[in-house]
């Protein structure tokens, strides 16, 4: 009769049933639970305590704890249970809803493994290394125990596959910041930014969550061969907004527009009569343009190149040549500078005329001959 009663008790449980149990004993490799309404022991193998690897059962449960469990096997003397599967069923349902809604999930990093991070959301979630941050991370060892916010990027219940991304959260936040920044940025605005990237054609500067391009021509008033000669990554710079394309999220910036122009105070730097050293930049039919300060070119008119007749400036000068010039006139408002090479050659010509050693000697010799003739008479 007792045997019949036991059989009746066993039939109460079916594989897949969810049952309530209270932990009565925590052993090294399993946990014993008291099942409500049954005299059969419930046993939870250590492998069924969590979706993650468990070293000690006592790390997961404690005596007296009430648990919801799933029946995995019914034996004559005991019922084999799983805490992991019971939690997974509810977890998958909850995660599926979050995935469909595009919600974020905040959770703690439980393990750092080869290739990424592992979290416990009732089921094992994996975060590939490439989806942890929006920048390269060499060592993830200090991520264990950190709490981060994630988005589900892949969910497959049948394959028990859950892939999460913290990078997606960061990129979404940056996208929101970009839109907000784009709405507030106006043409002509002067802002402080940080150089993020340098290319052959310019530098990208972060101004409040959105990157703008400073074209190489807008880096400085003087000619710039390589942007890296003028700015470096991480440098704080002042920029002026030249244009904003909100639809395509493009911003054009200028560093040189925030700096004093090369012609500022030119009347003080190059007053009339001042002698400067410059470089011949361009030769034209009517003269030569000479750069005397970075971004400041003055014209040496063809009539001011030499005392001798010059048919074309190419006869006397060449581009890249370093010469001395004298300031004839300066107009800061119109950004015009008149220069002369000839003015500095006049003194040399005068010295040559003054010395005339050959003619002088000839004249003295004539006087001496005249004197001798007088003596003969």
* CATH for 44: 2.40.50.140
Q: Kind of pairing, strands 41-45 and 190-199?
A: unpaired
Say how far apart CA 216 and CA 306 lie, in whole Å.
38
The whole-number pLDDT of residue 346 equals 61
Number of domains in the chain: 4
Residue 16 CA to chain centroid, in angstroms?
52
Best CA proximity match to 196, nearest among 232, 246, 239 = 232
The whole-number pLDDT of residue 251 equals 93
Residue 60 in any domain: the answer is yes
Best CA proximity match to 69, nearest among 94, 104, 41, 108 = 41
The whole-number pLDDT of residue 368 equals 45
| 125 and 200 assigned to the same domain | no
| 253 and 277 assigned to the same domain | no
Question: How wide is the angle at C-alpha 181 spanned by C-alphas 179 and 185, nearest 5°?
Answer: 125
Last residue of a domain, one of 86, 111, 132: 86
Residue 94 in any domain: the answer is no
Q: Range of 242's domain?
A: 185-258
Say how far apart CA 228 and CA 200 lie, in whole Å.
9
| 52 and 108 assigned to the same domain | no
Last residue of a domain, one of 170, 193, 219: 170
Q: How far apart are the first and last CA of the chain?
A: 181
The whole-number pLDDT of residue 121 equals 92
Q: Digits of tens for pLDDT over the chain (377 positions)?
A: 444 444 444 447 888 888 888 999 999 889 999 987 788 889 999 988 888 888 888 888 999 999 989 899 988 888 999 998 888 888 999 999 999 999 999 999 999 999 999 999 989 999 999 999 999 999 999 999 999 999 999 999 989 899 999 999 999 988 888 888 888 899 999 999 999 999 999 999 999 888 999 999 999 888 888 999 999 999 999 999 999 998 888 999 999 999 888 888 888 889 999 999 999 999 999 999 999 998 899 999 999 999 999 999 999 999 999 999 999 999 988 899 999 999 998 644 444 444 445 444 444 444 443 454 345 44
């Amino acid at each position: 009769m007792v045997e019949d009663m036991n059989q009746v008790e066993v039939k109460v449980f079916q594989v897949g049933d969810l049952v309530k149990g209270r932990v009565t004993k925590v052993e090294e490799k399993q946990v014993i639970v008291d099942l409500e309404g049954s005299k059969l022991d419930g046993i939870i193998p250590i492998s069924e305590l969590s979706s993650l690897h468990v070293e000690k059962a006592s790390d997961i449960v404690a005596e007296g704890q009430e648990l919801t469990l799933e029946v995995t096997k019914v034996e004559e003397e005991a019922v084999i249970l799983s805490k992991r599967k019971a939690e997974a069923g509810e977890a998958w349902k909850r995660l599926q809803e979050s995935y469909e809604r595009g919600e974020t999930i905040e959770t703690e990093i439980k393990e750092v493994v080869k290739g990424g991070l592992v979290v416990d959301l009732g089921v094992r979630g994996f975060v590939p290394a490439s989806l942890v941050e929006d920048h390269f991370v060499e060592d993830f060892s200090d991520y264990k125990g950190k709490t981060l916010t994630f988005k589900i990027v892949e969910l497959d219940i049948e394959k028990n596959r859950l892939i999460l991304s913290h990078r997606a959260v960061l990129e979404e936040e940056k996208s929101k910041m970009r839109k907000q920044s784009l709405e507030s940025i106006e043409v002509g605005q002067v802002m402080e930014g940080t150089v993020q990237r340098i290319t052959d054609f310019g530098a990208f500067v972060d101004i409040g969550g959105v990157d703008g391009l400073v074209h190489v021509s807008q880096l400085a008033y003087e000619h710039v061969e390589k942007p890296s000669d003028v700015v470096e990554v991480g440098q704080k710079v002042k920029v002026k907004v030249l244009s904003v394309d909100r639809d395509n999220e493009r911003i054009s910036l200028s560093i040189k527009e925030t700096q004093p122009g090369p012609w500022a105070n030119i009347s003080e730097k190059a007053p009339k009569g001042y002698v400067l050293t410059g470089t011949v930049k361009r030769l034209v039919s009517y003269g030569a343009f000479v750069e005397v300060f970075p971004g400041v070119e003055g014209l040496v008119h063809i009539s001011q190149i030499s005392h001798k007749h010059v048919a074309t400036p190419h006869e006397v000068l060449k581009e890249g040549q370093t010469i001395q010039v004298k300031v004839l006139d300066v107009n800061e408002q119109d950004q015009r500078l008149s220069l002369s090479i000839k003015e500095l050659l006049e003194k040399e010509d005068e010295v040559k005329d003054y010395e005339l050693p050959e003619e002088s000697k000839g004249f003295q010799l004539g006087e001496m001959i005249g004197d001798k003739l007088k003596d003969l008479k």
